[in-house]
Amino acid sequence: MVKYREKYILEGLDEIPPDMMADLDLAYDICMHLHVTSKCEMCGKCCHQPNITIMDDETERIAKRLNIGTDEFIRNFLYRKDERWLFKKSGRCRFLGKDNRCTIWKERPQICHDFPYLVSKFMSRVYLSIVNDIDIDLSYMEDDWPCTTIIKSSIDDLILKAREERGKRITRSL
Ligand code: SF4
Ligand code: SF4
């Protein structure tokens, strides 16, 4: 297993071949472009999703924000699955306020900060779309999320440009 940019886990690989690295860079640039240019409307709609992952080093920080000990936080709010911590929740996140704002915004988990543009689900689908010349699969995103609209309005053009760059790179290497 290897990680791209210390973050995205590539199962079944011991190293990233140079061509694959260049393609991952193309996908990453698209994700980062959207992350930097697109404002999250903080509508809280994605906070109803399952599988909010908490990294080991985030437990203490969030526990402190809640004025409880780390052990108590883990016991009451998290469960362990596939060597990861996840929020115990069914439906709405327990930290989503009545006004649909996150009540631990400054201390929210990294995945909440990264969603939707920098999470591995999106990154991998951008990558697959570029290299396999297929439409991007955004079926996990709901149509009424503001960020879905942003992605859908620009992703085809961004991927097309990335494919053109990729094609030029491949031609140069022949
Ligand atoms: S659904 Fe999209 S716009 Fe709304 S809070 Fe989540 S990431 Fe932000
Ligand atoms: S921690 Fe905050 S941002 Fe993350 S899912 Fe819960 S309410 Fe949403």
pLDDT tens string 136-167: 999 999 999 999 999 999 999 999 999 999 99
pTM for this one? Answer: 0.92
Nearest CA residue ID for atom 2, ligand 2 = 102
pLDDT score for 112 = 95
Centroid of ligand 2 to alpha carbon of 48 (angstroms): 9
Task: Report which of 51, 60, 59, 47 is spatially closest to residue 103, judged by C-alpha positions.
Answer: 47
Centroid of ligand 2 to alpha carbon of 15 (angstroms): 34
pLDDT (tens digit per residue) in 54-109? 999 999 999 999 999 999 999 999 999 988 999 998 889 999 999 999 999 999 99
What are the distances in angstroms from CA 151 to CA 69, 88, 173?
39, 29, 32
> Is the preceding peptide bond at 116 cis, omega within 30 degrees of 0?
yes
